[in-house]
Structure 1
């Protein structure tokens, strides 16, 4: 899929329609800043704080510079749309860190390189940034340098295994079993560089990295900072790059879910979603966990919250993801650090807007911010994929719902027509047919001016409860509830709830949460997610 096609997919996934249900309408409110504006502001703040003459300084770690930091600066300059700062960072990098083979030396301190070894995550991020800057600033020179840097990485820091091509942390890891850092792989970067270069090894690297990371999660529910991958495909968790120490989920491993959640490939996003179930759900999340998810420190760090937000977003838990992004920002503000501020800015960009050419799971359109409706609904399925069947009846035994289904279309104002009867249940007939591939939408009122309505108990559903939808073709689509969340109507996480999915899914929507003192109407939506049984 080309970047243009990916951008179109994101646009389609974020195109929204308001659900005009009178009892669900929320209060008018000023539209918050768009995700793009928020990400650019945060990126600007990082650049202003840590970039000095093109050098990204780790001010809280002695003031040295690493190639990773230069790459972060380049990516954030793209997010900020700041061509002069991008050039300044890249000029410093090529002058002080670039080796004869084109790769970047890892560490510089006090006027000189003190560690000449390259780090593949830094080189990969820098190559991605160069290609994206070439596109953003219409610069063929930057695009070509990005392709060249990526080619050097492919030549010297990848290896073929039975699982496919994998990304090595550095040239020192060529012997089997290879040291493997799951957070170095970046599916979105692989896609950008594949399109820019036409080199098939990028697609091989995407497939091999996915297979290796899946195998790692088979071995341990949480990704660890380090692992090993043998030539025969055997994967094992490890304590460090040299294999010593106890395996942990920490400052490195946390990045894995962020990188996989921003991928446009549903198989990659599924990896991030898989990590969600292994993380503790406590409001306070320790910065480091052991391999079994037990706390090994009481410290908190923005990257830990960013990682859980990414995992939640990929798992369809948009409200929980937004809450963790808030914790990320608060933690970064309380104790600013180079690494924490870098990943606060990067996570906001990767998860909420497409400046870095990914498919951000928490992206929102301008319509999301402006609408005060019950929720943002959309049709993520191409016209040719829509079934000829129609749903006729829905059954939700756990809350005693047995109802025929009516079609909900768009009114003259572009909003979805509400059920005229408070006890009617409707399906969005311009969207996915329940039982077809994608997120089908069924909606109804929670109450009426005088009594409870048909979806009054929707919020009482639990994971494992069932939903059945009978269709006109004689089939019955069976679903199992996997999650339920309350989300703010004025900040509805459209992309995470209604984005395209590779299997049949269902979204049951009604109103909930507090009632506005100004309007007397509900401020939230209740959204139940169910997957094909």
Structure 2
């Protein structure tokens, strides 16, 4: 890390703060929080009985394939098979017209201008597709459910055909979707936060002839080219003549998408050969915290200049990185920030995120919180081969 550690006096204060703060260990979570209270609160607020996940940050309260895929993963971590089935059925029926596996799910469903609720954009979103395929493979293994493996295999074949692209000097990587990301003049528009190496490891295990390990190997090469200060941009462009570059009409910013690159680096198993490199390449947010700055909502990736105050979900997304990077004083600070930004934070039991985060709580904050706090509370992890390990199956 480029920034120095706190002074001895500061460390003493931080140790005292850590002692007074709620414990955040797998044992504390299991003792204080039977079940998964945050998942239960999330379902009550954002998931309809029919399996539709509502993104309430938008006035139209639409649904995305991302929300469905993330929620399927959380249902698996929670061992909530009934909810998993309703989420999958809704995704199939409404985002893939009952042909999930034969086609990729459309990314956005909601109310049309004519008042009808329908699929608004049939173009797929690769991050959701990858999470959906990986989660189905893991559900097949953990629940011994062969039909999930069959569906995952078909989905992965569609992803491979429609969303994988070869980039000179990098190798294969993932387009954000089948349509709209191959621009004029041979320019590619990519989203680095769609690449989660633990997930690519798992897909490589299921599809050994596929490009997944090669995509994983290219991920640090991509981040090294576009994140020289440790801040990943939300979007980047590639062209044969220009190489990696940003849109000339807007500054390079890392924000809502890019925070997930820190999250995925933190979730990666400690023995993965890319772990240390990915942690270094996503070090920027932790470096800001270590220098005494508040967590920002946006960062200029070329200068490192922070802008605005981050929402609660950003603090949650950074927890696995801080835990993996052995920054306990920063981990404690972000856990306390989560509590302070939640209306019921003071009532959370020790070692447990028991309520919705943020004021007001929004879908995306909760999704990041379920990933981040679920990991540090020991509810799930990934092994070196990308297999999901869950508390209920240990």
User: Which residue matches 2:171?
Assistant: 164
**Partners of 1:276 and 1:125 in 2: CA distance:** 24
1:319 is paired with a residue of what secondary structure? helix
What is the Cα deviation at residue 92 of structure 1? Answer: 0.2
**Partners of 1:174 and 1:312 in 2: CA distance:** 36
**Partners of 2:213 and 2:376 in 1: CA distance:** 22
Aligned mate of 2:371, from 337, 340, 346: 346
Q: Is the 8 A contact 1:273 1:311 kept in 2?
A: no
Q: Which has the higher helix share?
A: 2
Corresponding position: 1:261 with 2:266: yes
What is the Cα deviation at residue 227 of structure 1? Answer: 0.8
What is the Cα deviation at residue 315 of structure 1? Answer: 2.5
Q: Is the 8 A contact 2:266 2:279 kept in 1?
A: yes
**Partners of 2:277 and 2:36 in 1: CA distance:** 28
**Partners of 1:38 and 1:283 in 2: CA distance:** 35
TM-aligned CA distance change 1:37 to 1:266, over 3 Å: farther
User: Which residue matches 1:225?
Assistant: 234
User: Which residue matches 2:79?
Assistant: 81
Aligned mate of 2:47, from 39, 48, 51: 51
- Kindly report structure 1 stretches of 4+ aligned residues shifted beyond 6 Å: none
Aligned mate of 1:252, from 251, 257, 276: 257
Aligned mate of 1:117, from 97, 102, 123: 123
Q: Is the 8 A contact 2:107 2:122 kept in 1?
A: yes
Q: Is the 8 A contact 1:276 1:315 kept in 2?
A: no
What is the Cα deviation at residue 350 of structure 1? Answer: 4.0
**Partners of 2:31 and 2:298 in 1: CA distance:** 29
TM-aligned CA distance change 1:232 to 1:134, over 3 Å: farther
**Partners of 1:338 and 1:54 in 2: CA distance:** 15
Corresponding position: 1:315 with 2:321: no
TM-aligned CA distance change 1:199 to 1:39, over 3 Å: farther
2:74 is paired with a residue of what secondary structure? helix
Aligned mate of 2:288, from 269, 280, 286: 280
Q: Is the 8 A contact 1:309 1:321 kept in 2?
A: yes
The superposition leaves residues 338-363 of structure 1 with CA deviations (integer Å, 9 ceiling, x where unpaired) of 1111111122234553635357xxxx
Q: Report the more deviating stretch, 107-116 or 322-331.
A: 322-331
What is the Cα deviation at residue 269 of structure 1? Answer: 4.4
**Partners of 1:289 and 1:74 in 2: CA distance:** 31
Q: What TM-score, normalized to structure 2?
A: 0.75
Aligned mate of 1:173, from 174, 181, 190: 181
TM-aligned CA distance change 1:308 to 1:113, over 3 Å: same
User: Which residue matches 1:128?
Assistant: 134
TM-aligned CA distance change 1:102 to 1:115, over 3 Å: same
Structure 1 gaps, min length 5: 1-25, 360-364, 367-533
**Partners of 2:128 and 2:314 in 1: CA distance:** 20
**Partners of 2:174 and 2:262 in 1: CA distance:** 17
What is the Cα deviation at residue 261 of structure 1? Answer: 1.8
Q: Is the 8 A contact 1:78 1:355 kept in 2?
A: no
**Partners of 1:46 and 1:345 in 2: CA distance:** 9
Q: Is the 8 A contact 1:54 1:90 kept in 2?
A: yes
Q: Report the more deviating stretch, 149-158 or 266-275.
A: 266-275
TM-aligned CA distance change 1:83 to 1:72, over 3 Å: same
The superposition leaves residues 129-160 of structure 1 with CA deviations (integer Å, 9 ceiling, x where unpaired) of 11111122211111221222122112111111
**Partners of 1:350 and 1:126 in 2: CA distance:** 19
TM-aligned CA distance change 1:226 to 1:51, over 3 Å: same
TM-aligned CA distance change 1:96 to 1:160, over 3 Å: same
The structure with higher relative contact order (CA 8 Å, sep 6+) is 2
User: Which residue matches 1:430?
Assistant: none
What is the Cα deviation at residue 121 of structure 1? Answer: 0.6
Q: What TM-score, normalized to structure 1?
A: 0.56
TM-aligned CA distance change 1:144 to 1:197, over 3 Å: farther
What is the Cα deviation at residue 209 of structure 1? Answer: 2.3
The superposition leaves residues 97-147 of structure 1 with CA deviations (integer Å, 9 ceiling, x where unpaired) of 026652110110022011111111111111111111112221111122122
The superposition leaves residues 301-345 of structure 1 with CA deviations (integer Å, 9 ceiling, x where unpaired) of 123223433433333213322432342354324331111111111
What is the Cα deviation at residue 277 of structure 1? Answer: 4.4
User: Which residue matches 2:199?
Assistant: 189
**Partners of 2:40 and 2:90 in 1: CA distance:** 19
User: Which residue matches 1:334?
Assistant: 359
TM-aligned CA distance change 1:222 to 1:36, over 3 Å: farther
Q: Which has the higher strand share?
A: 1
What is the Cα deviation at residue 256 of structure 1? Answer: 0.4
Q: Is the 8 A contact 2:266 2:322 kept in 1?
A: no
